[in-house]
Structure 1
Amino acid sequence: MSDDRIRHAERLLTLAGPDDSVDLAAFLARAARLDEAAVVRLRRRGDGLLGIWTRTGFEVLAGRVVRGTVAPADTCVAAESLRAALLAGSGPRTEVDPGWAMDSAWRGALPPDDGYVHVDDVPARILVELAQRGVALTREHGAQGPPASLLAQEVLEVSGAGTTVGVPMRMVFALGAMGFVPGAGRDTVDSAGIDPTEVVRVRASATWMRLDARFGSVYLRRGGGLGLSVL
């Protein structure tokens, strides 16, 4: 067997259908837009689904789940090259070589798949409006990106299930930058076009907090330097 065929057999991404390929390609495009050298981590989950992760540049992780599998079961690859492989040819491909392993580029643990409590649901429109205000403030001060003080600021308090958490602006920015809210891309200037019934679910565990939107989730480790405090 040739070296290429051996490599293909050992490293393979298989998606359940074209819709999953399109969804994954959209996630990869957002990751590459934030960082042209973005690395994504692909990991098979215990429920038979495939988790995809990337760093957002806001000290927040972004994740999405699609139907599929990957070999090896946990691997890191370049976002842009994987996207190109998925979209090569006349239509979305559902079976590709994920590309060269870049496992050394990923440091740190991933959030668990479960173990969270549902704190409350927040109208997506509110989070988009907060992100827009943050962008406007950043531009007003002429900064090269949001200042650290703005990223760390808790802009929303959410309570439920006996828990109260503060949502920092870094999570709001990450949610918007990844385009996880329908109708709210990075360049959205009017939140009126967002369905008022569209919500973002806030969940928390002892060590992680997550915001779950329709097209993906963002995660932040509680405590430590990021200071996600109980109010």
Structure 2
Amino acid sequence: MAWLAGSSLSDARAFVTRAVRLDPGALVRLRPAEEGAVALWSRLPWGVLVSRGVRGTLRQDRTVLGADLLTRLDGELPASRDTDWRWSIPFGAGEVVERIPAADVRRVGAAAAQTVRTAAAEGVGGRAVGSRMLRDALLDHVPIVVTTDDGRHIPVSQRLVQGVVRMGFVGEAAGDFVDVRISGPWTALACAYGSAWHRAAGNGLIG
């Protein structure tokens, strides 16, 4: 019996295809949401959780291998890999603390990619830099800081920016926005086609 509504087939395929492209061994966790909806979750190689909602019916959580799911989106789910999922998931949609033009998020992501290409080709300060060092420095960089009404500073790292950009979540229409959300120790970028979540190091597990 199919779990996914036909109207969401292309959305689910886009999500799983990108997750598997970034990590061929990616797991996808399917969680029942409100009635008639399922939330797809996966973890990117740089420690960010990504999620997209689709129309469908599922009675309970199920984790499967993304590559297997791609071949069975319109049929029965593949074998369970529940014991392989080792990450907590944010509780709820969180609180919106800022709204950023989608064009700005795309620009920040593109600038970071260009920086890496330039550094890889020319080095930094005349010195060659390893690709792993470049990647880690990029992902740890904080290009956006949001200040809440109560004075808290919420850093939005390139991990999140690259998550939504590389998963194709950011809308391209004029007037599209990206919400910065917080939920406990989690920070998220919520876009037109999905969201990316990251929990700062040292925070306890929730959800």
Query: Above 0.5 in TM-score?
Result: yes
1:123 — aligned with what?
101
Residues 23-57 of structure 1: CA deviation (Å, up to 9, x unaligned): 11110111111011211011112555211100111
Deviation at 1:223, TM superposition (A): 4.5
Quote the offset at 1:59 in angstroms: 0.8
Residue 3 (structure 2) pairs with residue 14 (structure 1): yes
For 1:215, the aligned partner's letter is Y
1:45 counterpart = 2:23: no
Matches within 5 A, 1:51-70: 51-70=39-58
In structure 1, the partner of 2:126 is none
- 1:70-120 C-alpha deviation (Å, 9 max, x unpaired): 25x11111112211222xxxxxx3xx2110111222102111124x22101
CA pair 212-119 structure 1, distance change in 2 beyond 3 A:
same
In structure 2, what is the equivalent of residue 111 of structure 1? 90
What is the root-mean-square deviation of aligned Cα atoms in Å?
1.9
Structure 1 residue 200 corresponds to structure 2 residue 189: no
Which residue identity lines up with residue 144 of structure 2 in the other structure? L
How far off is 1:58 after superposition? 1.6
Q: Do the aligned residues in 2 keep the contact of 1:206 with 1:222 (CA within 8 Å)?
A: no
Q: In the alignment, which residue of structure 2 is the partner of 1:9?
A: none
* AA partner of residue 165 (structure 2): G
Q: Shift of the alpha carbon at 1:151?
A: 0.9
Helix, strand or coil: the match of 1:50? strand
Please give the secondary structure, in 2, of the residue aligned with 1:147: helix
TM-superposed deviation, 1:137: 1.5
1:79 to 58, 66, 78: 66
Aligned position for 1:155: 143
Q: Which residue of 2 aligns with 1:170?
A: 159
| SS in structure 2 of the partner of residue 21 of structure 1 | helix
Cα offsets for 1:168-189 (capped at 9, x unmatched): 011111111101013xxxxxxx
Secondary structure of 2:196's counterpart equals strand
Counterpart amino acid of 2:57? T
Q: Is the 8 A contact 1:120 1:201 kept in 2?
A: yes
- Mapped partners of 1:59, 1:161: distance in 2: 28
CA distance in 2, matches of 1:110, 1:120: 22
112, 115, 118: which is aligned to 1:140? 118
Partner SS for 2:57: strand
Q: Taking structure 2 as the reference length, what is the TM-score of the superposition? A: 0.84
Segments ≥4 residues shifted beyond 3 Å: 143-146
For residues 88 and 107 of structure 2, the distance between their equivalents in structure 1, rounded to whole angstroms, comes to 31
Deviations 1:106-150 (A, max 9, x none): 102111124x22101101111111111111121222253652122
5+ residue gaps, structure 1, are 1-11, 87-92, 183-193, 226-231
Tell me, yes or no, if the aligned pair for 1:58 and 1:171 is still in contact at 8 Å.
no
The counterpart of 1:217, out of the listed 186, 195, 198, is 195
